[in-house]
Amino acid sequence: MPDYIPGADGNFDAWQINFLTYATANAAALGLDPLVDIPPLTAAQGVWTTDLAANTAAQAAAQAARQGKDAARGAYEGLIRPLVARLQASPDVDDTERAALGITVPDTIPTPVGAPETRPVVSVDTSQRLQHTISFADELTPTSTAKPAGVRGAQIFVKVGDPPPADPSELTFLGTDTRTPYLAPYTGADANKVAHYMLRWESTRGDTGPWSETASATIGA
């Protein structure tokens, strides 16, 4: 059961004023002794009212102080950042001095990029005749079009005609696409045949990852 006394200070303040006003005016009818029951409430109300006002003023002052602090920091940073930009561009400043200042020390050693470890997830749109639109995403983030870190694009291979490829040696390379989707056009000679696609990621260094599952779709006439 919810508490009849409001939790928020503002709501409690309005509630207690109404409570004490009514109790004072109707003490006899409520069976209260106006000389015994009411005075302690009135005294407590006075302390509450004083401290509430002090707290409200302190909160307003704290908010003003925070706004002043934030403005001061913004102004200070506005002076620091262009100065740091000058220092970063200066041939007189070396990495030891940058570290001593606590500013960014450029990383001049490239991070090694290994072979991709994940596979593309492939889907084929067959809504257009003699054309397949091949969409791909990473198996770890199938709802995102972002490629894995260090990946340049997806190598796309196909085998047209059944049966599906038993291994990648049966595939024909279509191209490396750096951004999904990939458009694969066909001629009338391929109409009603099944195209079987397999993809794999290619890193920025040319290393390749594991093959995707085979995605098969009929070439519409």
Residue 109: the pLDDT is 76
Q: Report if residue 99 sits inside a domain.
A: no
Residue 1: the pLDDT is 72
Q: Report if residue 2 sits inside a domain.
A: no
Domain boundary among 39, 66, 85: 85
Long-range own/partner contacts, residues 44-53 (CB < 8 A, 24 or more apart): 45/16, 45/17, 45/20, 48/13, 48/16, 49/13, 52/9, 52/13
CA gap 149, 105 in Å, rounded: 23
Q: Report if residue 157 sits inside a domain.
A: yes
Tens digit of each residue's pLDDT (9 = 90 or more) over 161-218: 999 999 999 999 999 999 999 999 999 999 999 999 999 999 999 999 999 999 999 9
| Cβ(198)–Cβ(157) below 8 Å | yes
Residue 15: the pLDDT is 96
Same domain, 77 and 134: no
Is the pTM higher than 0.75? The answer reads no
Share of the chain above pLDDT 90, in %: 94
Residue whose C-alpha is closest to residue 219's, from 197, 198, 201: 197
Residue whose C-alpha is closest to residue 120's, from 184, 217, 199, 179: 199
Tens digit of each residue's pLDDT (9 = 90 or more) over 44-95: 999 999 999 999 999 999 999 999 999 999 999 999 999 999 999 999 999 9
Residue 2: the pLDDT is 81
| Cβ(200)–Cβ(119) below 8 Å | yes
Range of the domain at 131: 120-218
Phi-psi region of 113 (alpha: psi -120 to 50; beta: other; left: phi over 0): beta
Same domain, 193 and 140: yes
Q: Report if residue 184 sits inside a domain.
A: yes
Same domain, 81 and 135: no
Mean residue pLDDT of the chain comes to 94
Same domain, 66 and 127: no
State the average pLDDT over residues 18-36: 96
Number of domain units in the chain = 2
Q: Beta partners for 161?
A: none
Q: Report if residue 128 sits inside a domain.
A: yes
Q: How far is CA 127 from CA 8, 161, 190, 218, 220, in A?
A: 60, 19, 16, 10, 8
Q: Report if residue 170 sits inside a domain.
A: yes
State the average pLDDT over residues 97-114: 86
- 160: enclosing H helix or E strand: strand 151-160
Residue 221: the pLDDT is 86
